A and B are shown apart, each in its own frame.
Chain A
């Protein structure tokens, strides 16, 4: 692979592509979905294979359809679930689900009505397939290599782990896709993130993506589609790949992608909605042609050697403000943004984070609530107790994850340790459903955003891996899990 100029201009791109005839994974997927290419006056018309819908960003889009007397063009390519405004406490003895308030309930009911009226498949509360939209898509086998996938949700980038072009859109665009199955899009630039080496013991996919964001910055990916490449990517499981791609948006990227390989195909085989029989063979042949050609050029490229990475943790108020867990906090002299962030967090420059007390530990979200994440956490909790005064929430990404964890007895480990074992949903990642931090509380969270107030007004978030979160839960202080589990 040849390295392109570090900041390619849009008008350089076509000549480079023509010169080599090689195409990247992104370009292959993009080209295959062009109803009309872009020109100076008009963006490209891009066909959408799969449209995922949830309750928060869709009601106003369905209203537009009604106002204009439009139908959903391809209901069979549209799939809905509810995850953001939904409670994570179990239904009462009478089966009644108690919402945070009437408005949250009304939003959920509105999605039910919209799906019924427009003929859209819905996995509602109570369904054994309900869960966070970015967890259930892959789980069902809906998410497939080479697809274009959109959702009114920025963490749609998760699905890029399968070699899909998957990105978040706004509500107006949700309406566009419902009505036309297409989007008007300018072609993004490409950015290769080369990850070589093997992750050390105790260093997870979450630490990897936090290190990438810290390296390129929270706007490092703006206007670009990232392609994660290199030997490290090949060694990751699908769930680990999803954790990495999930946080591409936290570097500002339009999407993050990884070439599909045997790990991908093995994950997808026999999923309920994946192709079966001869259709599987046909799909597999197509998917094997997706990886970037060997001479492909990217507009930008960075490399990261992962074998020296440490567990990462954020200290500030955006996901780029992250350090190796044993490092002291940075100086603020040259950066007023860091100074402001530390002020919000109640931290001082140069102080260590290890040993800092926390009030809450949240294990969940579309970043880290799959079965492998829960296994990592359970391994720490096993035979240990949650530290006194610490509240721990464990929230599965989906009903299927919850069921699997219960089959493996992980729920018992969490409960016996003193953690809350809750129903699936976005929960305290976005704090819309009543699961939230109180003002001033500190939390270690396996979620994706440490913005001011993200987990509850005035709450203060440290983002980290499930290992770090669980280790912190049992000591009550920010802890390197390797101190508990050992380094081998």
Chain B
């Protein structure tokens, strides 16, 4: 994975709270056996009508949003199913970060493992971001800050290990495999090994 330090982009705003992973990528698209090409199915049921034509009122179908790499979403984004296809679809579409007041646990874990930043901000900052779609923001992973166009910076929490892996382009699996001797030692203590 390529190291990630800064994401600078305009925002795309999807204000709905509790957006579940069935909305991010409907289950009928999950019979794939690779992780590629899901971007065209992202938010499929909100984005296209029954005939498959783009719905003009959905945010991703509006002209000025195509360049946005930062999705500003409502509270509790990514709830429901554990499907990693949700962050795969968001990344494949072109998003590199999601900003919200809260993320569902499994979604956040999946997103960070794939290099999709999950940025938790306070309610006041969130309101400001929701109110002004399309503004330019800068997310600095090293400093753990999100900067607004007016220069205001807010900090965001992120797990130290996930941050380390993302900043250095490290794979968590490498770290796990390096723990072989501790794992083998633990297995000796198991009742049912």
Contacts and interface: CB of A to CB of B under 8 A. Distances in A.
Interface of A: 35-36, 40-43, 45, 47, 49, 56-57, 59-60, 63-64, 68, 70, 73, 84-85, 100-101, 103-104, 106-107, 110, 152-154, 168-173, 175-176, 179-182, 184, 186, 188, 218-219, 222-223, 249-250, 252, 254, 275, 282-283, 286, 318, 337, 340, 430-432, 436, 439, 449, 451-454, 457-458
Interface stretch (B12-20, B57-65, B89-97, B145-153): B12-20
A451 B110 CA distance: 20
B1 to A, nearest CB: 11
Contacts of B177: 70, 179-180
A41 B82 contact: no
Nearest to B107: A170
B157 to A, nearest CB: 11
A452 B22 contact: yes
Contacts of B176: 45, 176, 179-180, 182, 184
B191 A451 contact: no
A57 B33 contact: no
A47 B183 contact: yes
B160 to A, nearest CB: 5
Please list the 9 inter-chain residue pairs (A to B) with the smallest Cβ-Cβ separation, ordered nearest first.
Answer: A170-B110, A170-B84, A59-B33, A168-B82, A154-B82, A171-B84, A180-B176, A219-B76, A172-B113
A35 B183 contact: yes
Contacts of B80: 154, 249-250, 449, 451
Interface in B90-121: 102, 104-106, 109-110, 113-114
A45 B83 CA distance: 22
Interface of B: 16-18, 20, 22-23, 26-28, 30-35, 45, 50, 75-76, 79-84, 102, 104-106, 109-110, 113-114, 159-161, 164, 172-173, 175-177, 179-180, 182-183, 185-187, 190-192
Nearest to B182: A35
A184 B177 CA distance: 12
Q: Which of A56, A64, A179 has the most CB of B within 10 A?
A: A56
A176 B173 CA distance: 6
A456 to B, nearest CB: 8
Contacts of A432: 27-28, 30-31
A104 B33 CA distance: 10
Residue from B76, B105, B109, B110 whose CB has the most chain A CB atoms within 10 Å: B105
Given A184-B161, A254-B105, A449 B31 contact: no
Q: Which of A104, A171, A179, A449 has most B Cβ within 10 Å?
A: A171
Contacts of B23: 451-453
A454 B26 CA distance: 7
Contacts of A110: 33
B102 to A, nearest CB: 6
A106 B33 contact: yes
Nearest to B83: A57
B33 A60 contact: yes
B177 to A, nearest CB: 6
Nearest to B163: A41
Nearest to B104: A252
A180 B183 contact: yes
B17 A337 contact: yes
A452 B160 CA distance: 35
Chain A interface main SS type: loop
Contacts of A340: 16
Contacts of B30: 56, 84, 432
Given A154-B80, A219-B104, 12 more contacts: A45-B183, A47-B190, A59-B33, A168-B82, A173-B113, A176-B173, A179-B173, A222-B105, A254-B105, A283-B191, A318-B79, A453-B45
B172 to A, nearest CB: 6
Contacts of B172: 172, 176, 184
B103 to A, nearest CB: 8
A384 B93 CA distance: 51
Nearest to A62: B33
A68 B174 CA distance: 10
Contacts of B164: 41
A107 B33 contact: yes
Contacts of A223: 105
A41 B33 contact: no
Contact of A104 (B31, B173, B187): B31
B182 A36 contact: yes
A439 B45 CA distance: 11
A277 B192 CA distance: 14
Given A43-B161, A458-B50, A170 B82 contact: yes
A147 B82 CA distance: 21
A439 B185 CA distance: 55
B22 A454 contact: yes
Nearest to A222: B105
Contacts of A107: 31-33
Interface centre among B22, B80, B82, B187 (most CB of A within 10 A): B82
A223 B157 CA distance: 14
A103 B175 contact: no
Query: Which residue of B34, B81, B177, B185 has the most chain A CB atoms within 10 A of its CB atom?
Result: B81
Contacts of A188: 105
Nearest to A61: B84
A163 B134 CA distance: 48
A175 B160 contact: no
B179 A180 contact: yes
A426 to B, nearest CB: 9
A60 B82 contact: no
Contacts of B26: 453, 457
A172 B82 contact: no
A175 B106 contact: no
Nearest to A110: B33
15 contacts: A35-B183, A40-B160, A42-B161, A45-B183, A56-B31, A57-B83, A60-B35, A107-B32, A107-B33, A169-B109, A176-B172, A219-B18, A219-B102, A449-B20, A452-B23
Contact of A182 (B104, B105, B179): B179
Contacts of A430: 27
A101 B183 CA distance: 42
A57 B84 contact: yes
Given A179-B176, A458-B50, A172 B114 contact: yes
